[in-house]
Structure 1
Amino acid sequence: MHIEYDRENDTAYVSLVAHIADGAAVRQIPVTGIGADAEVFLDVDASGRLLGIEVIGAEAALPAEALEQSTSTR
């Protein structure tokens, strides 16, 4: 698992596989019930395998420790 965090846009991406090829994620599934300050989407491949998790409003949805240990993209 690897987390990339964009502080400027407060978005995070949690990769669950070592490498996600361009175009591998063919579907984004919205996750409900997260709260008004965050949006979460599951990226899945054509076989339905979960590749990663996109979090918009990451500070509201993820623990501060996870964001501090992430790779910062900005």
Structure 2
Amino acid sequence: MRTTFDAVADAVYIELVPGIEPGRSVRNEIVETDGGTVVLDFDRAGILLGVEVLGATELLDGEFLAGAERIDQQ
């Protein structure tokens, strides 16, 4: 499981299936909350591929964010 965090976008992606190929995600379930948005990505077979969290600093624990791979740093 790979977790990436983009602090600029305040977004986290939790990849539940390694190496998701482009186009594999064909259905998204969106959950709106007071603090942000959670998007569940599914493939054609209904397998949950990953979870995107927008508004991550509001919705996720700081320790979890600290352990995520930062993708906003050059």
Q: TM-score, normalised by structure 2?
A: 0.91
Corresponding residue for residue 11 of structure 1: 11
Corresponding residue for residue 41 of structure 1: 39
Quote how far apart the aligned CAs of 1:2 are.
1.3
- Kindly provide the CA deviation profile for residues 6-52 of structure 1, in whole angstroms up to 9, marking residues without a partner as x: 001100100001110000000110125xx312100100000000000
**Count of residue correspondences:** 72
Corresponding residue for residue 31 of structure 1: 31
Q: CA RMSD in A?
A: 0.9
Q: TM-score, normalised by structure 1?
A: 0.91
Amino acid at match of 1:4: T
The whole-number CA distance in structure 1 between the counterparts of 2:36 and 2:7 is 14
- Unpaired runs of at least 5, structure 1: none
Query: Quick one: which of 47, 51, 54 aligns to 1:53?
Result: 51
Quote how far apart the aligned CAs of 1:59 are.
0.6
The whole-number CA distance in structure 1 between the counterparts of 2:26 and 2:66 is 30
Structure 1 runs of 4+ aligned residues shifted over 3 Å read none
